[in-house]
Structure formats: structure tokens, C-alpha cells
Amino acid sequence: METVYTSSLMNRLHSLSSKILMPFMAVLFISTNTVVNLWSSKRIETVQNILAILLLGIVAWYLLSSPKQRFKPWLKANFLVVAYFIVRFISLWQSGFDYSVIRSLIFESFFLIGICDFTVNSKSKGRFYITFFMWFEFIITALCILIFIIMPHMDQTSQNIISSFTYYSEDSRAALFSNVNFAGAIAGIAIVFVAIMYSNRLYNSKIIIVFGIYNLFCLIFFGARSSEVGLVAVAFLFLLKKMMPKIESRKLTITALLFMILTLIPLYMFIGYNVSKNPVSYTKIEDKVNSISSERYLIWKESYITQQDDLFFGKGSIKLDQQARKDFIETYEYGFKSGEIDYRYYMVSGFVPHNGYIGMISATGWIGFILFIAILIQRIWRSKNMKSGNWYLMLIYVFTINCFECWFILTRFMACFFMFLILEADWEKEEDKLI
């Protein structure tokens, strides 16, 4: 049933949120982890905070303006969200009202409450979100390739200027991205959008094919293995759906999510066994697992250890999880200096968990993690976009990459933004081509 806005004020708030604030938020999310964030002196997060609070205020106004017709039904439909934030406020209290936890709660509230039918439903629907992403991604990846090619042939002064205003010194292939993994991830997202748009006939087929081929080249150029794994999972489940069309997209998506979560069982069992022998031991098998996981295993092991102190409600935020890991490693300072303990434990203690599932357990505890997964399953089951079309492919990609990157709501990453946008929007009714 279509949402009815009974007052002119509600109509204006809806227009403001869906046509101005939410698209602007999308621009900021897409720009995060790119050179735009570097040029803005990392103020994008501050603007995002302000926009998130403003959008949450609009949603609160909408719901509370009619308690019986809107707020009570919302509470009934979102009891899991309420339970989740009760757990998160316990985490906030336990952290001593740490600012990093407050900041995390703002974004979590935006994703779980702020992105809703009231704020994303508009006549343009997915036009802006997808079109802007495709043009932005094409321009920034093309410039990365161009800089990589011409940089060695430029004079020293020009090279210094480019190095000063880009991330070129960190990785020459991805000069306009904060790291090469993000560059590969954004190319992977573009390829998934190609599969969605081509099947839905929302884009000109020739343009979409060229765009897809271009991004396959970009993915190879950037060389992000996590993105490649994500695309393999997408391709496999897409083919499975084609061969068995009776399988519902939402059931397939939920199965993929649960499978990714279940990968934690053998991982935690393996880590637990090695920690029981010695918390900072480093066996030959661990070395192989660490190599296969692109040096992520040691981060996961440290997170596992520090999780034991806050199993139910977590540390509160990714930042506090990192600090807990640093504090744990510093207790073995003598071992590092004497060479008795592998120095890589110390090197990775400052990195984010590089696994969104482990990261959420560290920050929200097992109670918060289970509630969040339940919310995701509920949203998938209710989503209009999950009932038809190929929008489910984006969620599968996010769930798979989340095994190697921290992509869930505790970090400001555009993939999570698109995930909740797809779950809340209804883009399957779009009749006109986007390009």
C-alpha cells in the first residue's frame, strides 16, 4: 500500500529527505575512502553525522506526528531494532559514553531507522543513486589508471604535486582511493550493478556491457582478491538461480548470509585451539592460514582474544576494539623486543578487524550481533526488491566481502548504504530506462 502524507508539512519533509538529503548522503558515502575525503581534510564524516541526525529527526517527526497510525505500527514492525538499540545503549554505558560509540550509534541509527520508505521513496527512485555511482566510479577509476601510466614520465615537480594531493605514494595503482582493496571493491560493486541493470533492462544494454567490460579490466588492474571472491559467489548463486528458478531470491539471499556467518565456526574453533596453547603462539599452520587470508588471520585472532572480556555487549565500537587489541599486545612487549614473539602481532594491532562479522561481535557483543542478523533477515524477507529482479546479487556480494572487510554498519562504507537502500526502496516499478 502506498504511503499517504496527509499534511503539507509532511509532504515538504518527505520531499526534502528523499530528493535532497538522502541523495546528498549517497554522494558522501560514495566519496568516502576516496581522494575527496583527503581533500576535505576528512570532514566528510562530520557532514554525514549532521545529515544522519537531520534525517533521523525527520523520521521521528513523521512517526510521532501520528502515534496511533504511524508510531505504534512502526514499533510493532521494528521490535528487533528497538531491542538492538537497547543492547547498544548498554554498550555505550559500559564504555563510559565514549565518543566513538556515540558516533557509531549515529550511523547505526541512520542505517536501521533513517533509511526508510519515508526518506527514500520518490518519483526518481533509483535514478540518481545508481547513475551518480556509475559516473563517479568510471571517472575516478579511469583517472587512477591515467595517473599510473603518466606518472613515471612526468617531471619531479609534477610528481611531487600529484603525490601530495593523492594516495599515490601508498599505492601507485589506486592513487585516488585510500587503499587498493577499496578500489577493487568499488569495481566489484560496479560489476554487480551491471548484472542487475542489464537483467532489469533499466539501462541501455550496449552501455552496460561496455561498462561491465571496463570494470572487469579495473578489477584485474587493482587486484583485490576479496572482490574477486565476492564476484565468484555472486556468479555461482546467479547461475544457481537461473538453473532453479523456483528458488526465491530472498531465501537464496538469507541462505548466503547464514553460510557466511557459519564460516566463523571453523575459524573460531581453529583460533580457540591455538589460543588455548599459547595466546601469542604462531604455528606453521597459522602461518599458512595467515598467508591465505592476506595477513588477516592475526587480526581475527587478536579480536577473538579481546572479545572474551565482553562477550555479551562488546567493546562498543571498532575504535575501542582496536585499543583493546593494542593494550593486549603491549602486555607482551618484552617478547617482541627479544624476538620470542612474532612481530606481526604488533604490526596488525592497529588495523580494523577486516571481517565485518567478527567486527560486529567485538563491538556489539554476541547479543547485538544476533539481533542485527535477525534484523537483516527480517528486512530481506519484507523487501519488495527481494521479491523480483536481481537486486539480491548486491546483498550476496556484500555478505561475501564482509568475510574479508569490515562492511557492516559499524563503518562508513557505501556498500552498506546501498544494501539498506535496496532493502527499503522499491525500484522494480521503475519503467523508464536510467540511461
Give the three-state DSSP class for 217: helix
Residue-level pLDDT at 334: 63
- Give the orientation angle of helix 356-382 with respect to helix 414-424, to 10 degrees: 20
pLDDT in tens, 197-206: 887 666 778 8
Amino acid at 188: G
Q: What is the C-alpha separation between 314 and 318, in angstroms, rounded?
A: 10
Read off the pLDDT of residues 103-133 as tens digits, 9 standing for 90 and up.
999 999 999 999 998 898 766 566 789 889 9
Alpha helix segments (H runs only) across 151-296: 156-165, 180-200, 205-222, 225-243, 249-262, 264-277, 284-292
Q: What are phi and psi of 177, to 5 degrees?
A: -120, 150
CA dist 237 and 412 (Å) reads: 27
pTM above 0.75, yes or no: yes
Give yes or no for a contact between 403 and 185, defined as CB atoms under 8 angstroms apart: no
Closest CA to 258 of 421, 360, 403, 390: 403
Within a 10 A sphere around the Cβ of 317, how many other Cβ atoms?
25
Q: In whole angstroms, what is the distance from residue 144 CA to residue 170 CA? A: 13
Q: Report the residue count for the chain.
A: 435
Q: For position 407, what pLDDT does the model report?
A: 85
State whether the Cα torsion 60-61-67-73 is positive or negative: negative
Report the pLDDT value the prediction gives residue 117, as an integer from 0 to 100: 87
Distance CA 80, CA 374 (A): 7
CA 372 to chain CA centroid, nearest Å: 14
Chain CA centroid to CA 262, Å = 19
Q: Which residues of the chain have pLDDT under 50?
A: 1-4, 431-435
Q: Name the amino acid, one letter, at 25.
A: M
